[in-house]
Structure 1
Amino acid sequence: MLYSLYELGHLSVAPLRIAALMQSSMLRSPLNPVADTEIARTAAAASDLFESMTRRYRKPDWNLPTTMVEGAEVAVTPKTVWSSPWCSMVHFERNEEQLEAARGTRADPAVLLVAPMSGHYATLLRSTVEAFLPEHDVYITDWADARMVPVLSGRFDIHDYIDHVMAMLRALGPETHVVAVCQPGPLVLAAVSLMAEENDPCAPATMTFMGSPIDARKSPTAPNKLAENRDIDWFKKNMIHSVPALYPGAFRRVYPGFLQLASFMGMNLSRHVDAHQAYFQNLVKGDGDSTEKHREFYDEYLAVMDLTEEFYIQTLEEVFQKYSLATGTFAHDGKLVNPGAITKTALLTVEGENDDISGIGQTQAAHTICANIPEHMRQDYIQPGVGHYGVFSGRRFRTEIYPRMREFMRAFQSPAARNAKRANLKLVSEA
């Protein structure tokens, strides 16, 4: 019912939103003799603000047409090379001729970025992809919005997520480097553990966990405490709703994106209010650069997706209430997951000093859980002065975190394996 009421509310303000757009255009028109007056600018700014606050934000584009390799511009084309109803693995394919002209025949390490499935689209990692592109062959998991997946496509839970990660690593072949950003950390670690137990040749060369709740008991944050203090029935009653008939996934039970967004914004409400006040003032002043930066950020931040009920509830139970992986009790398809089986995959953990979502120590816990990885194959890094999003985006990520990740991956990369895998990826693409 709540989801239907939300949709009804959105539709009911559509005429007002259209009127606001028309008013803004009229007030800013060069044919309007009072366009440069303060009253007209203020009214136009108010119209723009109303439109932006009532708009439905769609999934953003990647907007990564090129990258710079050794000072030369190289074209980039996102292509889906593996897919299921729930996920597409996107390859940021760099133009081969331009690439070889820029840096010769050197092969770059392949990196699978496992994006969070926690409300935002994979495009939230755009700047992460951008940083890796000049020196890596980059792939990313692009998870589907649950409201767009028909009920006939079946369920999707944390065990399906683990199976998807293993399937994508096998499609990429040996010597891939996997990077889990935030939420997927425990599930990616489970996938690598299972592959290690099977002595799978496609187990990754390295695994990097960034701001991940590997053990959410460490330095609990506000989201951790909420998950601990409420029982599962409370979450089912208050957070789970049915998708309206407007969407392909009609009647699927989901944790709606708009509820997730309300939670995100509620954590830092005053900051968002201040940002929109500044946006309004900059619109009145005609500060195009500042208003464009605001739009770019919120076009991404306000675009959210639904999660399936089973995935959301199982994540709460296993990661934030039972701490199953950290306590050695997590089972996948009836088989106990043993991170101690990992001996050949190197481990890097990255945390932000001011992370208010995954506290200090939650990601570091991977070193304790993966007890049998040799000492020389481990690294831990805490980035001073950054919060959760600064761990994988922004200036500090580009200049301080990414260089460490690059060197770590290269330290465990076999040139012969890189060349062999490039041929394999060509077959995956053609398939």
Structure 2
Amino acid sequence: MAIGVFGDVYEAEDAVRTPEAQVQLASAFTRPLYWMFEMGQAALEPVRIMADAGRLYYRNPVNPLSHTGVGRSMSAAFEMLERTTRRYGKPGWGIEEVTIGAVRVPVTVETVWERPFCRLLHFRRDFARPPRRPQPRMLIVAPLSGHYATLLRGTVQTLLETHDLYVTDWTDAREVPLSAGRFDLDDYIDYLIEMFRHMDGGMHVVGVCQPAVPVLAAVARMEAEGDPQVPASMILMGGPIDTRENPTAVNDFAQERGLDWFRRNVITTVPWPHPGVMRQVYPGFLQLHGFVSMNLERHLRAHADMFGHLVKGDGDSAAKHREFYDEYLSVMDLPAEYYLQTLQTVFIDHALPKGEMMHRGAPVDPSKIRNVALLTIEGENDDISGVGQTRAAQTLCSSLPEDMRAHYLQPTVGHYGVFNGSRFRSEIAPRIADFTLSHNWSRKGHNQGGA
């Protein structure tokens, strides 16, 4: 039986035999959604231009209305209209210096490794004189789960004070041409192993949330093969190592729906004119809908407050709102094969804690890890990765001696507070710094000085 949709023909009986073909078949039905979204964005462009012009008109101090309540209300309304219809681009890092001790040190961001779906960024600190305290090399693996790596800006700013820092900068899938090939969970693990080898081992790797599983898998595979370029330690923060422990609403949703539901309802195809045209993705605008709908009332209240701040002329509060939502509303498309394989492996099959996870046909066995110290960190009120899900890595890494492992539960913080905010800066980051210094070793003297 043949099914034709928008010029695509699939042999249905053969198409459903592989996950990749199932994605293609489902995408044939959901593809118009992305095209309709793009047409909607194009149709709204004149409205955005008009709203921005109106905002400037009513905010201009030369205009007498700008000094009245009516003028401020009109300016606020136009700004809210422009912001709620805008497509938010990738934010910049905005980190130009870091204060170490009492000294301001310039920071330069440079790309030191690159593949189609990721760049490895180095936040090089230009010291006038070498610091007294050792500065271990650290690789932060940012989540590939919808938001850009800049969501970790606060994490980076804090850890830059004590570490020579590298960060993964994942590429929006709609910007990657089909000719670059596919990207799935196995490729993700391959990328991490390549980065570890590029850095010549001995660094400290931090997996924030979703990357906890591939980081653990990459280290386990390298240890199983006796690779000498493994990290010195791995820090897993709020990650879904075993989602059977204290399952959250997110975990239950994945279990209840099953993989076929996600394949039918959230996978679509990148439209023209994006470079990744025809690539199958979980689009960012659908992810954003999910993010917002989980706390819709809170977001509506925040925007109502923003309108009030603008009318009252409270610039500081309005600026904080803009800063948060400029980041929060910036989302990226995820490769369909990566998203679906992660769902199946981590959230539905629980393959890693069951000892069933495979990478390129080889088993992922954390008990092989003997040379890489482990620190797990959780938040007491985490509603994304429940308490115990990250700590499960301690049980899986059964060959590690006690002096090479540690666990910390941060009271009163949720998921975001595990890696950002005041509690992270004052209570979690110092523990990370102490742990990396305690387990710091160097191949070819890399971790000494750390400029």
TM-score (norm 1): 0.95
CA distance in structure 1 between the partners assigned to 2:65 and 2:361 by the alignment:
72
Query: Equivalent residue for 1:170?
Result: 197
- The equivalent of 1:196 in structure 2 is 223
Match of 1:28 in 2: 59
Q: Which amino acid aligns with 2:69?
A: E
Q: Deviations over 1:125-165 (max 9, x none)?
A: 11111011121100001011000000000000000000000
Q: How many Å separate the matches in 2 of 1:85 and 1:212?
A: 25
SS at match of 1:138: strand
Aligned to 1:157: 184
1:11 aligns with 2:42: yes
Tell me which amino acid in the other structure corresponds to 1:188: V
DSSP 3-state at the match of 1:420: coil
Q: What is the alpha-carbon distance in structure 2 between the residues aligned to residue 115 and residue 359 of structure 1?
A: 19
Match among 43, 48, 56 for residue 87 of structure 2: 56
Give 1:421 shift: 2.0
Give unmatched runs, 5+ long, in structure 2. Answer: 1-31
Query: Aligned pair 1:298/2:298, yes or no?
Result: no
User: Equivalent residue for 2:20?
Assistant: none
Contact 1:87–1:141 at 8 Å: present in 2 too? yes
Point out the more displaced range, 170-179 or 83-92. 170-179
Partner of 2:362: 335
In 2, are the aligned partners of 1:107 and 1:418 still within 8 Å (CA)? no
Percent identity between the aligned chains? Answer: 51
Check the 8 A contact 1:213/1:363 in 2, yes or no: yes
Distance of 1:324 and 1:33 partners within structure 2: 66
Partner SS state of residue 106, structure 2: strand
Conserved 8 A contact 1:179-1:207: yes
1:360 alignment partner in structure 2: 387
User: Contact conserved, 2:136 with 2:447, CA < 8 A, in 1?
Assistant: no
CA contact (8 A) 2:61 2:67 kept: no
Deviation readout 1:243-278 (Å, 9 max, x if unpaired): 001100000000000111111111111111111111
> Which of 74, 77, 101 is the matching residue for 2:105?
74
Note the C-alpha offset of 1:99.
4.6
Preserved contact between residue 267 and residue 336 of structure 2 (Cα < 8 Å): yes
**Paired position in structure 2 for 1:413:** 440
In the alignment, structure 1 residue 123 sits paired with structure 2 residue 150: yes
- Tell me the CA shift for residue 24 of structure 1: 0.9
Structure 1 runs of 4+ with >2 Å offset: none
Contact 2:135 2:447 in 1 (8 A): no
2:297 is equivalent to residue 270 of structure 1: yes
Q: Secondary structure of 2:36's match?
A: helix
| CA-to-aligned-CA distance 1:181-221 (integer Å, 9 cap, x gap) | 00011111000001111121111111111000000111111
Residue 89 (1) aligns with residue 89 (2):
no
Is contact 2:440–2:447 with CA below 8 Å preserved after alignment?
Answer: no
How many matched pairs? Answer: 419
- Write the distance in 1 (CA, Å) between the matches of 2:414 and 2:102: 31
TM-score by length of 2: 0.91
Contact 1:174–1:421 (Cα < 8 Å) also in 2: no
Name the aligned partner's letter for residue 303 of structure 1.
S
Aligned counterparts, 1:254-403, within 5 A: 254-403=281-430
CA distance in 2 between counterparts of 1:49 and 1:195 reads: 50
- Contact persistence 1:74–1:99 (CA under 8 A): no
Residue number in structure 1 paired with 2:73: 42
1:82-105 per-position Cα deviation (integer Å, ceiling 9, x unaligned): 010111000000114x252xx25x
Corresponding letter in the other structure for 1:87: C
Question: Post-superposition shift, 1:419?
Answer: 6.3
Q: How well do the aligned residues superpose, as a CA RMSD in angstroms?
A: 1.3
What is the match of residue 180 of structure 1?
207
Partner of 1:429: none
